[in-house]
A and B are shown apart, each in its own frame.
Chain A
Amino acid sequence: QNSQPQIIDFFQNI
């Protein structure tokens, strides 16, 4: 089983 991380976990809010 694979899980899908959200993109916001990789790029920070600016």
Chain B
Amino acid sequence: MFEARLVQSSILKKVLEAIKDLLNEATFDCSDSGIQLQAMDNSHVSLVSMNLRSDGFDKYRCDRNISMGMNLGSMTKILKCAANEDVVTMKAQDNADTVTFVFESPNQEKVSDYEMKLMNLDQEHLGIPETEYACVVRLPAGEFARICRDLSQFGESVVISCTKEGVKFSSAGDIGSANIKLAQTSNVDKEELAVTVEMQEPVTLTFASRYLNSFTKATSLSNVVQLSMSPDVPLVVEYRIGEIGHIRYYLAPKIED
């Protein structure tokens, strides 16, 4: 028996929003420790890795490990049926071929349940090595989304240059070029408004703006985004999911032909 109850169904809606741009379907691996998802986008360019810890749920029970392959379009349809303030419970029997979503209004006067067929998905699991990154940048998630959106008007690529002074985002294309420099915040009153750089060595890398834009669909999950970069290894774009977990996106830098 698997059962996971979240008082804030909006978290699940936001998680889905954060992955459905890149993935059409995904397997939710449920175990005693929580729910994990790892999947590459269709073109195998980026990787999404999400973790929701069992202790972050209001109720969590998982007697046996269960992998639930879900069509994210169908899941989106079902979660649209939940009000933001509803309590959501996901349930499945062991070896089940369906999952049930139960939505309860805060006053318990309306209870709905939706059963969704599960899919058998071919799963590739990738081992992600522990990496010491040359630069780790934290900045407001909304600012990062704005920068990615603004720069994607100029070119297909965004160059991210990180030094101890701050971080620069650049793009160039047919209409011209654009540079956005963010200085490291000198006086941090509110962490969620700060730009911070932890740097071992300066890094300049080029990334596909289309994928960066897809990653920013997670913006509503967190006030802060963390970018981890090293030469010749994938960028990690990480958003925390409240007190319950995180979502990380991996994207390899472009290389010059």
Contacts and interface: CB of A to CB of B under 8 A. Distances in A.
B175 interface: no
Nearest to B125: A14
A7 B46 contact: yes
A9 B157 CA distance: 20
Contact of B126 (A1, A5, A7): A7
A7 to B, nearest CB: 5
Most A CB atoms within 10 A — which of B45, B127, B252?
B252
Interface residues of A, number: 14
A6 B255 contact: no
Nearest to B233: A10
A7 B257 contact: no
B176 interface: no
B254 interface: yes
Interface in B27-81: 40, 43-47
B256 A8 contact: no
B208 interface: yes
Interface in B209-257: 233-234, 250-257
Contacts of B254: 2-5
A4 B45 contact: yes
A11 B129 contact: yes
Interface string B6-44: 000000000000000000000000000000000010011
Interface residues of B, number: 25
B233 A7 contact: no
A4 to B, nearest CB: 5
Contacts of A3: 254-255, 257
Contacts of A11: 47, 126-129, 234, 250
Contacts of B40: 7-8
A8 B41 CA distance: 11
Contacts of A14: 125-127
B105 interface: no
A11 to B, nearest CB: 4
8 contacts: A2-B255, A3-B255, A6-B252, A9-B252, A11-B126, A11-B127, A11-B250, A12-B126
Interface of B: 40, 43-47, 124-129, 157, 206, 208, 233-234, 250-257
Given A2-B206, A10-B252, 7 more contacts: A2-B255, A4-B252, A4-B254, A7-B126, A10-B234, A14-B125, A14-B126
Lowest 6 A-B CB distances belong to which pairs? A2-B254, A11-B126, A14-B127, A6-B44, A5-B252, A7-B47
